[in-house]
Amino acid sequence: MPLEIVRNDITKMSVDAIVNAANVSLRMGGGVCGAIFTAAGAEKLQAACDRLGGCNVGEAVITDGYSLPSRYIIHAVGPIWQGGSSSEEELLHACYKNALNLALENKCESIAFPLISSGIYGYPKDQALQVAISAIGEFLLGHEMKVYLVVFDKKAFVLSARLFSAIEKYIDDNYVEERLYSERNRDIESYEYIPSMQSYQVSMPTPSKRRLEDVVSHLDESFSGMLLRLIDEKGLTDVETYKRANIDRKLFSKIRSDKGYNPSRVTAVAFAIALELNLDETRDLLKKAGYSLSHSNKFDIIVEYFIEEGNYDIYKLNEALFAFDQILLGI
């Protein structure tokens, strides 16, 4: 997938460039910066940084990667958090934008970022994450590059409290309801039929309705056929679609050229999000690939929550999936 959130040590990422959360003097510091200097070879890297003569807040400069697996280190200077009223958001956004443009200028096909400014610079992690996702997402709409957002451990990743609570409640309400229904069904099936007993009434969610003509008019349609038809009906271009789906261009080309192509489940869901399908349309598209949505699966419930909320931002959805230890959308 063009943008992926991963748990890893950024110094071990095998990419064209990694990003160092640098200071304005480009001196070896602590945290991510210190780890990068140490892994690259502190003496050589410091000498290269000294030759550059520093870097302003919001800007980025580049050096070789030296002993790192990456070819380059892009040093981006994030703002120190001062309460949010000192252009911190604009400066942090510029950090990501300038680092990405520098990677592009140096013909990088892959890059790994830490969550800039979220350490000793004090930028609230949930807000820092929002800025990172926004800046990277904007860049990927116009360019092809594999971008990783690297967090060292789960504690470094914070989904906004309001969204986390809303999703957690939605999961609890729906996941528990499905389990209780299954348990009641098993209990009912275990009883011997007695005519005098009252019949059991089990309430099930009312399925969303489809127009009959829509159902029967595309009976023999393949997944790729339905996908391409929906792209046309939504007035989208191929590029808009695969970028919204966080899908690699090469995979989309394969889907377009192979009428019998059967995607992975996460790829099928990613296209449903990209096309802003409602739940009924999403189920139809998934069926074409042999999949369905289930309330016994947290991944499915989170996807359903976003669809019902009308939130089709795949990066935000992936943030939520990551926070709940689920597989991410795209490839």
**Can you give the pTM of this predicted structure?**
0.78
Checking if the pLDDT of 176 tops 80, the result is no
Distance CA 183, CA 12 (A): 47
Name the nearest CA neighbour of 146 among 99, 101, 108, 102.
108
- Across 199-212, average pLDDT: 43
Distance CA 250, CA 248 (A): 5
| Token representation of residue 271 | 């296209």
| Per-residue model confidence (pLDDT) at position 192 | 39
Checking if the pLDDT of 222 tops 70, the result is yes
What are the extents of the domains in the chain?
3-156, 161-176+218-323
Which DSSP category does 209 fall into? P
What's domain 3-156's architecture? 3-Layer(aba) Sandwich (3.40)
- Do you know the residue count of the chain? 331
Checking if the pLDDT of 77 tops 90, the result is yes
Q: What is the pLDDT of residues 258-315, one digit of tens each?
A: 888 889 999 999 999 999 999 999 999 999 999 999 888 899 999 999 999 999 999 8
Checking if the pLDDT of 117 tops 80, the result is yes
Name the nearest CA neighbour of 104 among 68, 150, 147.
147
| Per-residue model confidence (pLDDT) at position 174 | 80
Distance CA 304, CA 213 (A): 25
| Per-residue model confidence (pLDDT) at position 214 | 57
Half-sphere exposure of 308 (CA within 13 A, CB side): 10
Checking if the pLDDT of 121 tops 50, the result is yes
- Across 46-63, average pLDDT: 97
Residue-averaged pLDDT of the chain: 85
| Per-residue model confidence (pLDDT) at position 31 | 85
| Per-residue model confidence (pLDDT) at position 324 | 86
Contact by Cβ (8 Å): 247, 254: no
| Token representation of residue 265 | 């489940």
Checking if the pLDDT of 84 tops 50, the result is yes
Q: What is the pLDDT of residues 87-105, one digit of tens each?
A: 999 999 999 999 999 999 9
Q: Specify which residues 151 forms β-bridges with.
A: 7
Q: What is the pLDDT of residues 308-320, one digit of tens each?
A: 999 999 988 988 8
Identity of the residue numbered 215: V
How large a percentage of the chain has pLDDT more than 70? Answer: 82
Which DSSP category does 11 fall into? G
Checking if the pLDDT of 249 tops 50, the result is yes
Checking if the pLDDT of 17 tops 70, the result is yes
Contact by Cβ (8 Å): 117, 132: no
